[in-house]
């Protein structure tokens, strides 16, 4: 989810996976795959950066989980070798 600001100042969280298009006309129009659209204060380039940063956070969290799981398996294997 990313946080955008509507023209009247109301903050809105949206699922970035639902963004279909972003246009600057001159305000920024965000259109979603469900057919809804709204105007926001952020520029298209800012929205793209927000989406990229959000996706980087997801990848980083997945990497931590994978490494944690790998460490757990390695520790269990080490314990099994010493028990035998």
Identify the CATH number of the domain in which residue 71 sits.
Answer: 2.40.50
pLDDT of residue 65: 61
Q: How many other C-beta atoms can be found within 10 angstroms of the C-beta atom of residue 30?
A: 22
Q: Whole-prediction pTM value?
A: 0.73
78 or 9, which is more confident: 9
pLDDT of residue 40: 98
Q: How many other C-beta atoms can be found within 10 angstroms of the C-beta atom of residue 19?
A: 17
Q: Measured between alpha carbons, how far is 66 from 84 in angstroms, rounded to an integer?
A: 27
The H or E element spanning position 31 is strand 28-32
| Count of structural domains within the chain | 1
7 or 74, which is more confident: 7
Q: What number is the average pLDDT over the span 53-70? A: 75
Domain hosting residue 65, numbered range: 2-83
Omega of the bond prior to 51 within 30 degrees of 0, cis?
Answer: no
């Amino acid at each position: 989810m990313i946080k955008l600001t509507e023209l009247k100042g109301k903050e809105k969280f949206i699922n970035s996976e639902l963004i279909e298009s972003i246009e600057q006309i001159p305000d920024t129009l965000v259109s979603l795959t469900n057919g809804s659209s709204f105007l926001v204060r952020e520029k298209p380039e800012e929205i793209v950066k927000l989406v990229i940063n959000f996706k980087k956070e997801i990848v980083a969290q997945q990497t931590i989980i994978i490494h944690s799981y790998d460490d757990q398996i390695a520790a269990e294997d080490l314990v099994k070798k010493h028990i035998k």
